[in-house]
Structure 1
Amino acid sequence: MRKRLLLVGILIAMAALLSGCFEINEPIDSDSEGIWNSFFVYPLSFLVTYIAEDIFDHGFGAAIIIVTVLLRILILPLNIKQLKSTHAMQLIQPELKEVREKYSSKDAQTQQKLQQETMALFQRHGVNPLAGCLPILAQMPILIAFYHAIMRTEEISNYPFLWFELGSPSIIMAVITFATTFIQQKIMMSGTPASANPQMQVMLYLLPVMIGVFALFFPAALALYWVVGNLFMIAQTLLIRRPMMREFEKNNGGSK
């Protein structure tokens, strides 16, 4: 639950950053100065523009999809680590609950014993409670930089893709963003103890709603990034989750 709250907090902070910081109204080009512009925003803008103009004849929508997939592949190792850590944490929740009930007293000695038993439980199952936060932190500058690349690359706003304008908000894309985010969350929680947790059920809806609202006000090009990223994560979860769960249950099925 704490990870989910952390994620919501990060998204709120990210929305504040996206709303107007870092020269958001200044066009990005090779002459833009500063570490942020030179090493984060302009490389993404250049990559999208190069793919769109030299490969797809001004197909900026297709270029955004390709760059999104490339970025997801780049952070794939971290995402796999997050996925494994998240599911491992979910699967050991019954044991973790037993430990907390066993050491429910608030005195210092009992609380110290609770910490020791909790860490021993994590080590026994190979769980790192902080590992799930790393991909979130890694994706923040990438997403913000990609948003700036979209907003500050003038060519993107001048081209349509499918039924929407890349530089303008799209209600349909916002709905698709909400739906794909919800499906991704649902698949990740399916079949785990967290799926029966009322607090986690609230987060199942809260996070997609927040991202859907963001997509409603941001350019559709950013919503396209979110949708493609969600579809990538859904496929990644389906391809990795089942063998990972079988391996975890094989190694830890007998522990209680």
Structure 2
Amino acid sequence: MKKKLNVSVLGVGALLLLSACGRSDVTSHSTGLWGRLILMFGKAIQGLSFGGSVGLGIIIFTILIRAVMIPLYNRQIKSSRELQELQPELRRLQSEYPGRENHEALAYAQQALYKEHGVNPYASFVPLLIQFPILMALYGALTRVPELREGTFLWVDLGQKDPYFILPILAAAFTFLSTWLTNKAAKDRSAMLLVMNIMLPIFIFWFGTRISSGVALYWAVSNAFQVVQILVFNNPFKIIEERNRLEAEEKERKAKIRRAKKKAHKHK
């Protein structure tokens, strides 16, 4: 549970980091590896701007980037789910080794538990660390490549704020939906996590009203893609259904054992 909370906090931290990135324009004359990566992303978006629609280019490029990162997402989810399954055992260890004086013993017991089940508690962070530079470069392209700030899409000027707040609302709504879906199948949901699930969309909306519409469009599309991604690869409704089925089978198995023992006892 703490890991899920930490992931959300990392997401907020990443957004704050993005807002603090350089503001100078990136052009073909820019030097440095980071500037060239941003320019490459910008050129790719321009190449996908069919009919001269930069907004369409942003949408297509965002979907392509998110699609490429699906394997990283699946690995992250797999690691998080494995760790989630160990939460009851981890809580048991915490009750067995309470207090600071047992901190080392608790850490040793936890590591032994992870090793026994083949779980790496930090594995889900690796895909996140790989994704951040990619998303930061995309953000940089949308904010620092002049050609991407001069386009229009539907009702918005991509270089200006959305005057009707529609894109920030969509970005926040899809953020809330994705976090809600992600945590719906969780066995344990702390109050802090529930608060974060509410605060993160609020932060996305607030930040979305203060940045260019191009970035808000990216966030809306990216978070919408994540909702679809969750429903396809980590559908909480299917997970709950499967868990209930397994629990029902386990109850039935135990009931059969009890009936068999009772029947055997009567025949004695």
TM normalised by structure 2 equals 0.79
- Consecutive unaligned residues in structure 2, runs of 5 or more: 251-268
User: How far apart, CA to CA, are the structure 1 residues paired with 2:27 and 2:99?
Assistant: 61
Partner of 1:227: 220
| Equivalenced residues, count | 241
User: How far apart, CA to CA, are the structure 2 residues paired with 1:118 and 1:198?
Assistant: 24
SS at the partner of 1:49?
helix
* Largest Rg, 1 or 2: 2
Structure 1 position 62, deviation (Å): 1.2
SS at the partner of 1:30?
coil
2:182 is aligned with 1:181? no
- The C-alpha deviation readout for 1:209-234, integer Å capped at 9, x for no partner, is 22222211111111111122112222
Partner of 1:130: 122
Q: 1:90 to 1:181 in 2, by over 3 A?
A: same
Q: 1:7 to 1:138 in 2, by over 3 A?
A: farther
Q: 1:2 to 1:90 in 2, by over 3 A?
A: closer
Partner of 1:112: 104
Partner of 1:210: 203
Does the Cα contact within 8 Å between 1:166 and 1:221 map onto a contact in 2?
Answer: yes
User: How far apart, CA to CA, are the structure 1 residues paired with 2:149 and 2:203?
Assistant: 24
SS at the partner of 2:95?
helix
Partner of 1:77: 71
2:45 is aligned with 1:48? yes
User: How far apart, CA to CA, are the structure 1 residues paired with 2:193 and 2:5?
Assistant: 8
User: How far apart, CA to CA, are the structure 2 residues paired with 1:140 and 1:181?
Assistant: 17
Partner of 2:264: none
Q: 1:112 to 1:104 in 2, by over 3 A?
A: same
User: How far apart, CA to CA, are the structure 2 residues paired with 1:114 and 1:231?
Assistant: 40
User: How far apart, CA to CA, are the structure 1 residues paired with 2:207 and 2:78?
Assistant: 28
C-alpha root-mean-square deviation of aligned residues, in Å?
2.6
- The C-alpha deviation readout for 1:23-74, integer Å capped at 9, x for no partner, is x232x22221111111x2011011011121xxx1111111111111121122
Percent of aligned pairs with the same amino acid: 30
**Matched letter for residue 234 of structure 2:** R
Does the Cα contact within 8 Å between 1:41 and 1:146 map onto a contact in 2?
Answer: yes
TM normalised by structure 1 equals 0.83
Partner of 1:89: 83
Structure 1 position 8, deviation (Å): 2.3
Structure 1 position 9, deviation (Å): 5.0
Partner of 1:12: 13
SS at the partner of 1:33?
coil
Structure 1 position 194, deviation (Å): 3.2
SS at the partner of 1:130?
coil
- Consecutive unaligned residues in structure 1, runs of 5 or more: none
